[in-house]
Amino acid sequence: MIIPALQVFCGMLSRIAQFADIMLDAKQQIDKGVYHQAILGDLNTMAHGVARLSPLYCCDAMRWRTLGRTEAHFWHHHVLSVADPSHLPEQDGIERGREADQASNSSLAALGVPADVCRDVTNPGFADPFDPVETITLDNPSFRFLGVSLMKGKLDWVLLRRLRVRATAVGNHDYSASDHKWLCADVSAE
């Protein structure tokens, strides 16, 4: 299990590069026979809303390239949906050769992301049981103006590999325990 907190003040492309290191480690664990994995944490996918206007939070080219979408939506479609075919669950236990190095995220490459990041950030079979658009973990009342949410989105993630989800829950709706809501997944091994 990996529990990351990605940097918030670096921009989306730097967060994706940090996440590539996590995915590379997950693939190395798969190669060692660790097939059931969870990545749980605050990925700080917040490059949207009023945060987009702040060079503190959104300080790279993605600041305007993703206009109209949340960062979580971008990640869902351009990071997590790009599979690494050599490390998918149905490939577990199979000896991998040089073809494992061939998977790459062409969507990110088109945005100028370095080749090593594009290779490493491919998904070896993780899925999030929480909808990337509908699940909101940050909508703190202190970030509202005249009832309008200025910073609202899915910053926290539960990514599971070869784990069956029995139930999910979202809590801390009043934000009394933290400035984020919490996510919980009851899982069992496949």
pLDDT digits (tens, 9 = 90+) for 70-105: 889 999 999 999 999 999 898 898 877 655 556 789
With 90 as the cut, is the pLDDT of residue 159 above it?
Answer: yes
pTM of the model: 0.90
Number of neighbouring beta carbons within 10 Å of residue 115: 11
Query: Stretch 165-184: mean pLDDT, rounded?
Result: 94
Q: What is the pLDDT of residue 135?
A: 93
- State residue 99's pLDDT score: 54
Indicate the domain borders of the chain.
Answer: 12-163
Contact in structure between 190 and 162 (CB atoms under 8 Å)? yes
Placement of tokens 């999030």 in the chain: 128
Select the more confidently predicted residue: 124 or 70: 124
Question: What residues contact residue 91 under an 8 Å CB cut-off, 6+ apart?
Answer: 85
